[in-house]
Structure 1
Amino acid sequence: MRTKLPLSRANIAYAHDIFMAAVSLPLSLWLRMGLSIESVPLDFIVQSTALFAIIATTVFLPMGLYKGIWRYASMNDLIQITKAVTLAVLAFALILFVISRAEYLPRSLPIINWFVLMALLGGPRFIYRLFKDRHLELVADNNEKPGIPVLLMGAGDEAETFIRAIRRQPGAAYRIIGVLDAKGGRVGRHIHDVPVLGTPDQLEMIMRRLGADRPQRMIVTKSDFNPTLMKKLLNLAEAHGMTMARLPGLTAFQTGVGDEIEVTPVAVEDLLGRPQAVLDRPAMRSLVAGRRVLITGAGGTIGGELSRQIAALGPAEIGLVDSAEFNLYSIDLEVAELAPDIARQPHLADIRSTQAMSAVFTALKPELVFHAAALKHVPIVEDHVAEGVQTNITGSRNVADLCREHDTQIMVLISTDKAVNPTNVMGATKRIAESYCQTLDRTRSKDECRYLTVRFGNVLGSTGSVVPLFERQLAAGGPLTVTHKDITRYFMTTREAVELVLQASTLATSARTVAGGIMVLDMGEPVRILDLAEQMIRLGGKRPYEDIDISIVGLRPGEKLYEELFHNAENLTPTDNAAIQLAAPRVANHEMLIRAIDEICTAARENKNETCRILLSKMVPEYRPGETAAKRLTTQ
């Protein structure tokens, strides 16, 4: 297949290189022989030059010399030039030796020609780049509108890339005053003439030294700063009147000359994050690849992320179940775009309907089921007990029973830390769903469905969670509302939670996994919600209690002061993954549990809210309905 040149500028560069190749041979000969060159017949020089030009024509194009842009000439381009020149010179020497035994030509000519041609090809490229860079810097220096003065945090490769990109932007939005180095090893040095001024601990001295040229914004250049340092930087930035942002992805630096480089806000995840858990991705792919997978609640936060990640693992077919039409439409469209080759079955169905879910199982015959559908908003479920029971208990039982009936291999129940010592209806109903799946797993025969429960805390950014609430309140000018000054919660990003759910699912067949056990994800340290509110205000460039107020509004019905991941009676054992622990089950009598579930589900169908609440307290002894917030504070 003939290699085509993509652009007219590439054609010009190609012609330039062939011309330089033709020039390089007589020039090299003259450098070697001086005036003695007259002893070489002119026709021999012309023929040799033509031969070398033809060889260059044949070699240069396939070597990929014209995929690069002179404006961005780099070491990779120099490597490609080196390969092409070496091949051309060797081919010329070999052919000339075969034709004429290299008569008239000194043996050192190929070596000299190599150096000359390297200079003639590489020199113009790098001179052009230096000229363009300097030209853009002069344009930027002469621009009437000065950029925002900024201070970079981090003196590594990312900072160098950003500084270089800014230098190429006429009228760039930012003017880099200096750089901070977290470890201090590069203090006193320069990155493209931008000084490394000191460490974060020296910021006050640095700001005094800068005087009137103080930066207005701190831009974090690295993505792997730990949350403790990020919180410290946020406090320092606020103390010195700076807002805080972070660098965009590297693709943002590939903009054209007329495009403006934008930084991105520091996200709350940067302050709460933890080191990435070690994942066995081959095991995750082995679990999903080639299997039929069903996801309930696919339109929700967790269900949607499950759908996306599972689609990327190559299932044979993916079934999406949701009772909300628009949510189902949205996730089905997204999965279709992400994995167009994977068969899909979107089902608008309510897990509370045995008939509807039976039709779903009959159509898909799922081998893996991830049950994420649930009612989860504590205050709403607290006022609609029967609805909570029908979805979280009846619906979960329907899915679990159908898994056994249709020979599903593994069912994964997505649970919550609110199921531990529950103080609300939502937590109590999820605890009963856990218990039912545990008893099914403990009473199964060898070839029947394996039931696995995965329990974790709050997911950042999920619908109804505190972070989107704070964002709306910030946009409205405040105040931010916190229910208690000491209330804490566990947090995890949606992506991380789902990755660990899939990782935990791979452990379902492990010999170390106890029947009926609950996989509990490592949520890190609990976060004080008041601290979170203050940090989000600072991230918005405001001052807590001055620009934006925070109101303490009191605990809501059923709300706990702090959440727990384990019950005292659940013995913990490690798993093959340090980010996942196994909680041994609290044993429940299967037959008694079925009778109790039948009774409460009947009451729920009849919309007997108070009866359901009483039955919940009998089934989950830790749940004490009617207990006041003040009483909960004294018992927690």
Structure 2
Amino acid sequence: MYQGKNILVTGGTGSIGSEIVRQLLKYEPNVIRILSRDESKQFDLQYELKEYSNIRYLIGDIRDKDRINYATKDIDIIFHAAALKHVPSSEYNPFEAVKTNVFGVQNIIESAIDNNVEKVVAVSTDKVVNPTNTMGATKLLSEKLVSAAEHYKGSAKTAFSCVRFGNVMGSRGSVIPLFKKQIKQNNDITLTDKDMTRFMMSVPQAAKLVLNAGEFSTGGETYVLKMPVLFINDLAEVLIEDYNSKSQQSYTGKITEVGIRPGEKVYEELMTSEESERAFENDKMYAIDSLLNDRINTKQGFTKTDKKEYSSKTEKPLLKEEIKDLLKNTNLLF
């Protein structure tokens, strides 16, 4: 469905956004417009993808509606990946998170309707489920805005949907690069809580499933991507063991608990039991239907989901050997 299309990727120089761009290029779209605020990241991506002539680089902020409306002209599909995503910074700068994650999303919605865009797929997070922090609360509201757009878009053909997933391994600001840096420098590994569990997936896996959700979307759904669960403490131990097996000088630091950061939770949730009552699933994802009908089941090959929560607290975690295989397959070992 992406071949020959005009596509806009907001936050297109970020970890997820740039991988969405790389994978979209395989489908030979007519043009990909990358909108982001950071000209340095754009410069780096331009160099990496210099052989492609169908990419346009736009400096801009989703808070600026005029800029978004201009960037959306003649666009068929929008992948919205721009966000303030870090929990501590959003906790200390809450209204900045509101400006980007709420007002910015509304700008995307209105520009998509005004320009009769075919599809909008917004990237969301597990932190929207029973949120305890500002980032999660603002992203939950952004999901609600995207879902509600289906009901007031009028004659516009735009289909709005969200994709919700957990932690992306190796992405900017994530835990694996931090642990590896601490191990290399022989510093103590700072762990917030030894009982902490998280959903994990690689950057390519996340981007691929976002594109899959874009294909499935008919409007109003929230797609919840299925992914493995692991203990963060086990992850740290696997990285230490791998480093020691490859380095001439063994790591002599220790894993130190520093306490949960403001707004952080010991476990994460991707779908509540209440949401599961109106959800369907296939082998890769759940689709939570806001319209309470069976169109996903009959049209897209999904089956009805049993009533259950989808949480890193209740899912079976990976064994350490499985974590090592996961890191090996995603080139995240030393």
**Local SS of the residue matching 2:49:** helix
Matched with 1:194 is none
**Local SS of the residue matching 2:274:** coil
Q: Counterparts of 1:306 and 1:447 in 2: how far apart (Å)?
A: 25
Q: 2:58 aligns with which of 347, 351, 364?
A: 347
Q: 2:233 aligns with which of 514, 530, 545?
A: 530
Matched with 2:5 is 291
Matched with 1:481 is 190
Q: Counterparts of 1:446 and 1:531 in 2: how far apart (Å)?
A: 52
Q: Kindly report which structure 2 residues correspond to 1:507-546, keeping only aligned pairs within 5 A, or say none.
A: 507-509=216-218, 515-524=219-228, 526-541=229-244
Matched with 1:429 is 138
**Local SS of the residue matching 2:263:** coil
Q: Does 1:380 align with 2:85?
A: no
Q: Counterparts of 1:319 and 1:361 in 2: how far apart (Å)?
A: 9
Structure 1 residue 586, shift from structure 2 partner: 9.2
Q: 1:323 aligns with which of 37, 44, 47?
A: 37
Distance 1:549 1:572, change over 3 A: farther
Q: 1:357 aligns with which of 55, 68, 92?
A: 68
Q: 1:497 aligns with which of 206, 216, 222?
A: 206
Q: Is the 8 A contact 1:417 1:564 kept in 2?
A: yes
Q: Is the 8 A contact 1:351 1:399 kept in 2?
A: yes
Q: Counterparts of 1:574 and 1:563 in 2: how far apart (Å)?
A: 21
Instruction: Give the greater-gyration-radius structure (CA).
Output: 1
**Local SS of the residue matching 2:269:** coil
Q: 1:573 aligns with which of 279, 283, 291?
A: 279
**Local SS of the residue matching 2:244:** coil
Counterpart AA for 1:366: I
Q: Kindly report which structure 2 residues correspond to 1:233-632, keeping only aligned pairs within 5 A, or say none.
A: 287-337=1-51, 340=52, 342-362=53-73, 365-445=74-154, 447-509=156-218, 515-524=219-228, 526-541=229-244, 547-570=252-275, 571-575=277-281, 577-585=282-290
Q: Counterparts of 2:233 and 2:263 in 1: how far apart (Å)?
A: 19
Counterpart AA for 1:317: V
Counterpart AA for 1:549: K
Q: Kindly report which structure 2 residues correspond to 1:175-190, keeping only aligned pairs within 5 A, or say none.
A: none
Q: Is the 8 A contact 1:393 1:429 kept in 2?
A: yes
Q: Please identify runs of 4+ aligned residues in structure 1 that moved more than 6 A.
A: none
Q: Counterparts of 1:372 and 1:463 in 2: how far apart (Å)?
A: 14
Q: Counterparts of 2:148 and 2:178 in 1: how far apart (Å)?
A: 38
Deviations 1:361-393 (A, max 9, x none): 23xx21000000001011111101111111111
Q: Counterparts of 1:581 and 1:358 in 2: how far apart (Å)?
A: 31
**Local SS of the residue matching 1:532:** helix
Q: Counterparts of 2:69 and 2:255 in 1: how far apart (Å)?
A: 49
Report the number of matched residues: 288
Q: Counterparts of 2:124 and 2:151 in 1: how far apart (Å)?
A: 18
Counterpart AA for 2:205: E
Q: Counterparts of 2:209 and 2:43 in 1: how far apart (Å)?
A: 26
Q: Counterparts of 2:240 and 2:126 in 1: how far apart (Å)?
A: 27
Counterpart AA for 1:289: Q
**Local SS of the residue matching 1:490:** strand
Q: Counterparts of 1:344 and 1:436 in 2: how far apart (Å)?
A: 29
Q: Counterparts of 1:392 and 1:586 in 2: how far apart (Å)?
A: 24
Matched with 1:67 is none
**Local SS of the residue matching 1:412:** strand
Q: Is the 8 A contact 2:191 2:257 kept in 1?
A: yes
**TM-score of the two chains, using structure 1 as the length reference:** 0.44
Structure holding more helix per residue: 1
Distance 1:462 1:564, change over 3 A: same
Q: Say which structure, 1 or 2, has more relative contact order (CA 8 Å, 6+ apart).
A: 2
Q: Alignment identity in percent?
A: 36
Deviations 1:237-278 (A, max 9, x none): xxxxxxxxxxxxxxxxxxxxxxxxxxxxxxxxxxxxxxxxxx
Backbone CA RMSD of aligned residues = 1.9
Distance 1:324 1:314, change over 3 A: same
Q: Is the 8 A contact 2:278 2:290 kept in 1?
A: no
Deviations 1:162-189 (A, max 9, x none): xxxxxxxxxxxxxxxxxxxxxxxxxxxx
Q: Is the 8 A contact 1:303 1:372 kept in 2?
A: yes
Deviations 1:442-497 (A, max 9, x none): 34446521001000000000011100110110111021110011011100001011
Matched with 2:317 is none
Deviations 1:385-423 (A, max 9, x none): 111111111111111110011010000000000111111
Structure 1 residue 572, shift from structure 2 partner: 4.8
Distance 1:402 1:485, change over 3 A: same
Structure 1 residue 332, shift from structure 2 partner: 2.9
Structure 1 residue 336, shift from structure 2 partner: 3.0
Counterpart AA for 2:79: F
User: Structure 1 stretches of 5 or more lacking a match?
Assistant: 1-286, 510-514, 588-636
Counterpart AA for 2:240: I
Counterpart AA for 1:585: S
**TM-score of the two chains, using structure 2 as the length reference:** 0.82
**Local SS of the residue matching 2:270:** coil
Counterpart AA for 1:531: D
Deviations 1:489-520 (A, max 9, x none): 100001011111111111113xxxxx522011
Structure holding more strand per residue: 2
Q: Counterparts of 2:3 and 2:169 in 1: how far apart (Å)?
A: 28
**Local SS of the residue matching 2:50:** helix
